[in-house]
Amino acid sequence: MIASNLTKLKQQIPKSVQLVAVSKTKPVELLMEAYQAGQRVFGENKVQELVDKHDTMPKDIQWHFIGHLQTNKVKYIASFVSLIHAVDSLKLLKEINKQGSKHTRVIDVLLQFHIADEESKFGLKHSDALQLLDDPDFFELKNIRIIGLMGMATFTQNNNQIRDEFRKLHHYHSILKAKQFKFADYFKEISMGMSGDYNIAIEEGSTMVRVGSLIFGSRN
């Protein structure tokens, strides 16, 4: 079932777009089905769950943390996490840098932008991001690397609105790329698109889609 879900999905996703299989709340047996079907990139949004799954599963998996990350929990995932999707403060960035330094590695992250018209979602406004990237403290951070942006569209049936929001994120990415990241060829990722809207996201320039329920079935 999971194997055929993955096959179907991959037929609709260009090779240049990375598929993050969002496995939160799902048991290891189901993740292993995806693994056996060739999937190597998994996304989780709870630190303890991520640590447990990392401990028990094969070591060639790339684990992405896609949820809101609390500063005091960075230390538990810093040794192995391959990408942190939702960084939205300098404070968190500094802690990731500190933990990266302890493990003598550079940790890749994405800045989360607020693109939805919902109050509760996390994320930076464009002006917040500019301020963060201008901060003298930011230039001291040698153990993190910002490789792009991440965003979540409003939960709505209105595809035009979703499209507008993804387009906005792509636009912010282009602006930062032209200036703050002009010489950073690694700043090329746009993580946007989930089960309900990945097609629109890809049309609007997504390089990374985070898909859960279409692969593993709906969650409770």
Ligand X SMILES: *Cc1c(COP(=O)(O)O)cnc(C)c1O
Question: Which residue ranges make up the site for ligand X (CB under 6 A)?
Answer: 22, 24, 45, 66-67, 194-196, 210-213
Work out how close the CB of 123 gets to ligand X at its nearest, in angstroms, rounded to a whole number.
11
Reference 17, options 175, 199, 141, 146; nearest CA is: 199
Q: What is the smallest separation between the CB atom of 143 and ligand X, expressed in angstroms?
A: 24
DSSP assignment of 83-147: EEEEE--HHHHHHHHHHHHHTT-PEEEEEEE--SS-SS---B-HHHHHHHHH-HHHHT--SEEEE
Q: Give the shortest CB-93-to-ligand X separation in angstroms.
A: 18
Name the maximum alpha-carbon separation found in the chain.
51
For ligand X, the closer CB: 101 or 205: 205
Q: How far is the CB of 152 from ligand X (least distance, A)?
A: 6
CB nearer ligand X, residue 83 or residue 141 = 83
Q: Which residue lies nearer to ligand X by CB, 46 or 167? A: 46
User: Going by C-beta distance under 8 Å and a sequence separation of 6 or more, which residues neighbour residue 31?
Assistant: 21, 23, 42, 53, 57
Cβ-closest residue to ligand X? 212
Of 3 and 130, which has the nearer Cβ to ligand X? 3
CB of 100 to ligand X, least distance (A): 22
**Whose Cβ is closer to ligand X: residue 8's or residue 142's?**
8
Residues 6 or more apart from 189 whose CB is under 8 A from it? 110, 147, 148, 149, 207, 208
Q: Is the Cβ of residue 141 or residue 197 nearer to ligand X in the bound state?
A: 197
Separation of CA 95 from chain center: 18
Within 13 Å, how many C-alpha atoms sit on residue 129's CB side? Answer: 25
CB of 185 to ligand X, least distance (A): 26
